[in-house]
Homo-oligomer: A and B are copies of this chain.
Amino acid sequence: MSRRSGILEFAVLGLLRESPMHGYELRKRLNTSLGVFRAFSYGSLYPCLKTLVANGWLIEEPGNALEDARAASLAGRRAKIVYRLTAEGKEHFEELLAHTGPDAWEDEHFAARFAFFGQTSRDVRMRVLEGRRSRLEERLEKMRASLARTRERLDDYTLELQRHGMESVEREVRWLNELIESERSGRDLRRDATSQDTSGDTGGMSRDRGSSRTDPSDPTAK
């Protein structure tokens, strides 16, 4: 049903898994917390929500039947339609999380996957990180080859663009290496005062807390 393979669907399910929300806020979250890498418009969000409802993965709830104090205090601002993940929706999202296809390491897909690593089991995290890394290494190979072939035919700007692109990829590989190392050692290396080279980024995180959290009844954030 609905080959919405997309990132949007995934991100929506993931955000709603954390807590129910209405469309407007969902969109803001997509574009700030999550949306460092991508912005979505209402024109895609609302139709997507409808599809998800039609699939039984979400249910619409009235934001509130009457504008009483409780609703105001909980939501800050009154909501019109609040979307909540159903049991099927949760299950579906779990499947998406576990699914490690070669799609998962493409640029935008990867970022979306990473954003929900907090709800992903460690072995899947490792597969995704390593998949991403080898994807990037392939890319580097091609870039290097192509650069070697065409070096002198290119003008300075094109060359600079390529160089810069390659460096960006190399940098991401280093980042992934650190993340993978972190995961492997289960360490929480908290970048406090380690290396201070050009790249500056000492990745690292985790804190591990038992793979996947299982608490749906999280009282609405904020």
Contacts and interface: CB of A to CB of B under 8 A. Distances in A.
Interface stretch (A48-56, A60-68, A90-98, A150-158): A150-158
The oligomer's copy count stands at 2
A88 interface: no
Nearest to A222: B153
A132 to B, nearest CB: 12
Contact of A168 (B38, B106, B143, B204): B204
Given A156-B190, A210-B107, A168 B167 contact: no
Given A34-B158, A153-B222, 5 more contacts: A38-B208, A118-B155, A156-B189, A165-B205, A167-B202
Given A164-B175, A190-B156, A197-B198, A146 B32 contact: yes
A216 B126 CA distance: 26
A211 B106 contact: yes
Interface stretch (A69-77, A78-86, A109-117): A109-117
A42 interface: no
